[in-house]
Structure 1
């Protein structure tokens, strides 16, 4: 049984100061946060307390050696005011997989789910009804011990913060296929949601943005011949009526939404190929007219269509389809996430 969670409530909520019609993604946070410390080889009593700054020693190892992992989840509210999560056990398993790779102690399952449920019930008014509205949930773990010797920390913090959200991408997205920079390499931490994976992407992504692209689709570090994933999304390609995506491995994040898309495709008798995808194959398909779609999948964006791509000085625009696979999967996923009367045959919805 979970250690009792101590709850310290705010005196006055700030919810009435928030314009829920115009929410910048990830910049507004709810009233409370979950915090649990790892000290003397054990996770201590969790606490939910008012959202606010942390006090960390300047020598905290997270700043110097990058021991930091995180997850991305969403809570939804259906028309009956039920709070719903989408496959949260996958996020719980993955943050511990990430933690293990970075030598961070794994977080207990009962602490995670009791903390999450208690926090979400406390913040229920921040979860707005309506398709596209959600509460973005960010669990994370950091090395908090003050010491600058190059070894794993002895003390850690596990936290959960929440941010009200609307649709992630509003504009059309164009991507650049990477020719020089790499996201990760064999034997590295690409499969983990390690903070450093994202920090290392910002510079090459900024170069791509100067060329008019919003994101990069990363290629393999060895040859740059194979397409893998984008900065915040797993990637799918549709050639003819076949859906193709790269296999998960130690370079590619095993995305929860990615797994759902593959399952939904199989449920609907769509042809799916999980295999390595050559840059040359996609460019050739774009040239001969068989490339129908590229879209990304992820918690924040759900499904995001790609309008065009660039590589080797060439740019390609994708056709605008009336009945795209991207829109089909997005509708199917959102029907389940918002509990809009569809049969959740796989049990993906989790009622809080």
Structure 2
């Protein structure tokens, strides 16, 4: 008979070893900042150069060495529509290997509390809006990122399987579109919001009279600042336990056209925006139902205009050192 999960969420031990996989990335770096602010004394991480999470033996050795009590799995190969459409094998293979290695090593090391981070792209392309957690596996995925989505779905099921077979109180969270410091602003690998920031900022720098964006501008998207996401992660670790993944978002959405206009205003672009309708739009709308998260006691705190201003400021501050 499978062991029952016997666990009551509560305040985490600030002195325990806390491993953040992907600690230099958009989400991971925000989680490290949040944990530091909360008084955690032993936060550990390794860069991909120091530890290749696709190397199973290396991952197991690292977990045996550090003996973490808590883990957040924020490491992943990520990208926008272009990258996902062009390299589906990479997104499937790399992410599944990262997840399997980290989750298996964490189980062997006896990690007490683990949070797996997925993506809202796990849900069906035409899921009822706003998307509830129960919509998982009820329809076809968006073809432009189905390989990445399947990898993330495998991670959710892996966590659920650990709960059933080993009785460990591991959980999963599915964030909406995230943005903030340490995002990927490269032309080929970025998501829509950092791509727009870079595009409009470069247009200002070069004096370009117009900017051309992909698609029609009509799809609706929800955005959450990475600092809000990190705050939600710590909240879930201390207040939630259950097999079902938890949606994390702001609960509101805007059109791509609206977000482009806001970014243009923030960076000071006064030219004309054109839309290349021969390029794909992706999912027509993606808004998460965040009522489960709200019931646990957490709601988003940072407004989109404030978050964009912070992100553009960071982008300018880091101008010489950005990826890509």
Could you say which TM-score interval applies, normalised by the shorter chain? under 0.3
Decide which structure has the larger Cα Rg and report it.
1
Higher relative contact order (CA 8 A, sep 6+): 2
More strand by share: 1
Q: Under a length normalisation based on structure 1, what TM-score does the superposition of the two structures give?
A: 0.26
